[in-house]
Amino acid sequence: MKKAICLKKLFLAVFFLCASVFADSTTVKNLYPKQHRGFYSSQNFGVSFIDFEKHSDDNYAKFSGVSPNLMEFRFGIGIGNVIAFYTQFNLGTYIGSSKWGDSDCDDEICRTYDDESSSGDASFVRTYVAFGTSVYPFRDTSSALNGFFVGGSFGYSLDASLINTNTQSVDLAFTLEIGKD
């Protein structure tokens, strides 16, 4: 048993010695570094979280939910491998909880109305058309942080509830994001 452990340690030591002797370099080369110059195109599929409240003169709506199937497409121009300007289109179906009701009513009437009109379950569709920019602060193509970005966009959002009410709205909206390509 002791002999087997010694042989394992010897084998590992010889393996690491050979790997360090015959290794070309200790750093991993990035064969295809992220470049953001010229035409900029980005397609993303992922998860998104949304939380919003909307108040008007006589009613309110609140929704909080998660989209497991967000689709996003961006087209634009990248300048100097540092900044990208783009047009963004996205579509997502959200599942979460909603609350809505009348904001101008007496307390007793509001409680009754809220119990009837509020819901814990809701489905929600949101599409978003916007103009935005992303900044890529790390230009070194051999860095592990190459492709990290901070961005934001501003545009129009079309929102529609699917299950509990038949409501739609068109709003001005913005997004802020941090990510890595």
Give the pLDDT means over successive 10-residue stretches in the chain (181 positions): 69 69 56 68 81 75 82 89 90 82 56 51 85 89 84 89 67 85 76
Question: How many angstroms separate the CA atoms of 154 and 129, rounded?
Answer: 8
**pTM assigned to the model:** 0.60
CB atoms closer than 10 angstroms to residue 135? 13
- Helix H or strand E encompassing 98: strand 83-102
